[in-house]
Amino acid sequence: MCGIVGLVSFTQDLAHRSDLVESMRGALALRGPDEVSEWSSPRALFVPRRLAVVDLSGGHQPAVATDAAGRETVVLNYTGEVFNFAELRAELRGRGHEFRDRSDTEVVLRAYQEWGPACAERLRGMFAFAVWDVRTEELVLIRDRFGIYPLFYAETPDGFAFGSEPKALFATGLVEPVVDRTGLLEALSFTPTPGLSVFRHTREVIPGEVVRYSRAGVSRARYWNFTPREHTDDLATTERTVREMLEDIVRRQVISDVPISSMLSGGLDSSAVCALVNRSLGGGDRLQTFSMEFAYHLENFRPDEVHDSPDAPYVAKMAAHLGSEHRELLVDRDHLADREAQAAVVRAHERPVAGLDMYVSLYRLSQEVRRFCTVTLTGDGSDELFGGYMWFHDPFYVKSRTFPWLGASHQMEFLSGLLDRELYHELDFAGYTRDRYEEAVAEVPLSGEESAHERRMREITYLNMTRYLRVILDRKDRLGMAASIEGRVPFCDHELAEYVYNVPWEMKVADGREKSLLRAAVRDLLPEAVLQRKKSPYPTVQDPAYRTALRAQLKEITERPGARVNDLLDPARVESVLTDPTYGLRAGVTRMSIEAAVQLDHWFESGVRVEL
C-alpha cells in the first residue's frame, strides 16, 4: 500500500522542482508513513509514499526499469497488492526477466515491460498505479476492476496531475478545490457516478480503466467489465465452487510481512472471512479480530426496519468459536459528536458522507486496529454480489425505477434536506438522480436471454457493484488510510465476481433468504446462530443524546459569523430542526441531512470553495 502523486509537463522542466516535491509529499503522509521518495525528469515528477506490507526491505518506490545500456525506460508509481504475483513472477522469469526483490511492485513493473497497459488484464488484486514510459513520453494510469484503491487526475494549465486523493492534486498548486453545480449534486445526491469527482476539472479513473496522457492529449479505455455468460453448474456444484474460490482468495490475501487481522461484525460476511482467515493461518499466529459497538446499544437497542439485532452477542459467539484474540471498541455519544473526529472524517473523504455516525465510529475503530495491526480483511462487497440488502428482496424496492437504495429510503433526502429550497429545485436533484439512474441501467451487461425478473435482478446487482459498492470501498479505503491501515476485501475478487454475477437469481436465494448461496457455501464454518442471523447492516447509533448534540452543533454553526455553509441552508428548515422536538422530521429533514450541514461546515473550513 502506498500513496501516489505525480505531474507531467511538456512545457516546464520538472527535474528540479523541490518546492513541488515538498508540498506533494505532505499531502498523502498517512497513506505512506514508512518511506517517502521522489523521481524526476524534465517531463515527469513522481513523489510516492509507502506503507510497507510485503517485502519490507524491498519493494521500494518508484520502481525503475533500465535497458541494456543502463538508460531508464519505465518508471512505476504503484499502490496496492497483486495477489497472483508469485505466478506472474514465474511466468516473467520464463520470459527472460530478472528480479531483484520479492515484492509485487517489481512484478507489476516487469509485467508492464512485457505486456504494456494490457498487463492490467493479468493482475488479480487491488491496485492503482501510474507508469511513465520514458521512451515514448507517455503517462499511463491503471486502476483495479472494482476501484478498491482510488486514483484521481486532472489536466493542468501546462500538463497533467494524478494522485491517490484529490488533496494530492491540490498540493501541486495547479488544481483548485472548487465544487460547482455538478459537484454539489454529486456530493449530496447519493448517486455515485463512476469517473466523476465532486471537484471541478478533477476526474477519477473508472474501475477497470486505463487512462493515457501524452502530447496527443488524454485517452481512456476500459479493460474489464462484467460479461454475461450461461451458468451451467447445478446448485451443489455452484455452492462448492464458491467455497473453493473463497478459500483460494483468502489463502492469497493473508500473505503479509506485518501483523494481519479481520474485522468482525457477527454477520455472515465478516464471520465467513474471519473463519477462512483462521483456517489459512493454519494454527500459526492467533487470529486477531476487531469489532465496534455503540455503548448505548448494550442495554437500549431497539429493532428497526433494517437492524433486527445488535452485533455484540453474535460477535462474542463468533470470536469464541474461532478462539480469536478479540477486541471490541465501545463508542459513545461524546466520541460521535467530537468535532475533531468529524473533521477528520471529512478530511479523509474530502466530501460529506451519508451517515456521519457510522463513519466516525469506523474511523475510531481504524485507529484502534492500527495499534496492533497494519492489514485487516473485511466482508465488504458480499451484500452487493450475493444480494444481501433489503432492496434485493422486497418487491416494492425491486420495482422502484431508481437506484434501489433510494427506493428503500422512499427517496427521502439523505444529505440535502437542509439545503436552501430554491437552490435545491434550481439544481434539480430529482432530474439529476433520474439521469444518472438511466445512464447506469443502460450500461448493464445482459445476454438478451434473461427473463424479465432475472433481467431486473441483474440490473440491481450491477447497480450495487458499480455504484453502491463504490461508497463502501471508499469508506474502507479513506478511513483505513486515515489510520495507515491496508484493507483487503476477499469478496471483491474479479474471478469470484464474474462467476457469481452469472449465477441465476433463484440459485442465489435457493432457501428463500438473502445470500443463501453464500450461507450454503460456508455452512460448516460458522456457529448456527451466526449462520442463520438475518442481515443487519453496519449499525447506526440510536442514542437520542447524539441527536441533541447534532442539534447543538447546527445551532452553533448558524450563530457563527462568517460560517459559509449558512449561504446554502434553508432558514425555515434550520429553524424547524432547532425548535421542533422531532428535529424537523415533519419538515422532511432526516438526521443525515443535519449531519450533512455539520460536514459542509467542516468541508468549507478546510478550504473548499463552492462556485455555483
Helix H or strand E encompassing 328:
strand 325-331
Residue 516 has pLDDT above 90, yes or no: yes
CA 455/CA 376 separation, integer angstroms: 35
- The model's pLDDT over 337-353, given as tens digits with 9 standing for 90+, comes to 999 999 999 999 999 99
DSSP string, 215-235: TTEEEEEE------------H
CA 64/CA 109 separation, integer angstroms: 8
- The model's pLDDT over 144-203, given as tens digits with 9 standing for 90+, comes to 999 999 999 999 999 999 999 999 999 999 999 999 999 999 999 999 999 999 999 999
Give the per-residue pLDDT at 22.
86
SS3 (DSSP) at 403: coil
CA 242/CA 23 separation, integer angstroms: 46
Whether omega before 62 lies within 30 degrees of 0, making that bond cis, reads yes
CB atoms within 10 A of CB 428: 13
Rounded average pLDDT over 110-119: 97
Q: How far apart are the first and last CA of the chain?
A: 37
Contact 380, 492 (CB under 8 A): yes
CA 439/CA 432 separation, integer angstroms: 11
CATH no., domain 2-222: 3.60.20.10
Of 127, 117, 125, nearest to 221 by C-alpha is: 117
Residue 413 has pLDDT above 90, yes or no: no
Q: What share of the chain is helix, strand, coil (3-state, %, to 5)?
A: 45, 15, 40
CA 419/CA 230 separation, integer angstroms: 47
Which of 232-241, 423-432, 467-476, 572-581 is predicted least confidently? 572-581
The 8 Å CB, 24+ separation contacts for 506-509 are 507/231, 507/235, 507/238, 508/386, 508/387, 509/387, 509/393
What single letter denotes the amino acid at residue 607?
G
The answer to whether the predicted template modeling score (pTM) of the entire model surpasses 0.85 is yes
Higher pLDDT, 283 or 116: 116
Domain boundaries, the chain: 2-222, 235-531, 544-610
- Cell numbers given for 81: 497488492
Helix H or strand E encompassing 57:
none
Residue 20 has pLDDT above 90, yes or no: no
Confidence at 588, pLDDT banded by 50, 70, 90: low
Q: Which CATH number fits domain 235-531: 3.30.70.250, 3.40.50.620, 3.40.50.720, 3.20.20.70?
A: 3.40.50.620
Residue 284 has pLDDT above 80, yes or no: no
Q: Which of 2, 119, 373, 492 is catalytic?
A: 2
Verify whether residue 373 is a known catalytic residue.
Answer: no
The strand pairing partners of 328, in sequence order, are 291
SS3 (DSSP) at 397: helix
Report the side by side order of strands in the sheet with 325-331: 325-331, 288-294, 260-263, 375-377, 486-488
Give the per-residue pLDDT at 102.
86
- The model's pLDDT over 536-559, given as tens digits with 9 standing for 90+, comes to 999 999 999 999 999 999 999 999
Of 447, 452, 403, 450, nearest to 429 by C-alpha is: 403
Confidence at 586, pLDDT banded by 50, 70, 90: low
Strands (E), 68-121: 72-82
Phi, psi torsion values for 205, nearest 5 degrees? -60, 125
Residue 408 has pLDDT above 80, yes or no: no
Most confident among 228-232, 399-403, 583-587, 590-594 (mean pLDDT): 228-232
Contact 156, 201 (CB under 8 A): no
Burial class (CB in 10 A: 0-12, 13-18, 19+), 449: exposed
The strand pairing partners of 330, in sequence order, are 293
**Which residue intervals of 254-338 are DSSP H helices?**
268-281, 297-300, 312-322, 333-337
**Which residue intervals of 388-501 are DSSP H helices?**
395-399, 404-408, 421-427, 429-442, 452-463, 469-481, 494-501
Give the per-residue pLDDT at 1.
60
Mean pLDDT, the chain, integer: 94
SS3 (DSSP) at 120: helix
- The model's pLDDT over 313-327, given as tens digits with 9 standing for 90+, comes to 999 999 999 999 999
Contact 416, 599 (CB under 8 A): no
Give the per-residue pLDDT at 282.
77
> Over the Cα atoms of the chain, what is R_g?
24
Residue 475 has pLDDT above 90, yes or no: yes
- The model's pLDDT over 195-208, given as tens digits with 9 standing for 90+, comes to 999 999 999 999 99
Give the per-residue pLDDT at 52.
85
Confidence at 57, pLDDT banded by 50, 70, 90: confident
What single letter denotes the amino acid at residue 114?
E
Give the per-residue pLDDT at 68.
87
Give the per-residue pLDDT at 306.
85
Phi, psi torsion values for 269, nearest 5 degrees? -65, -55
- The model's pLDDT over 207-241, given as tens digits with 9 standing for 90+, comes to 999 999 999 999 999 999 999 999 999 999 999 99
Give the per-residue pLDDT at 585.
67
Give the per-residue pLDDT at 410.
60
Give the per-residue pLDDT at 390.
93
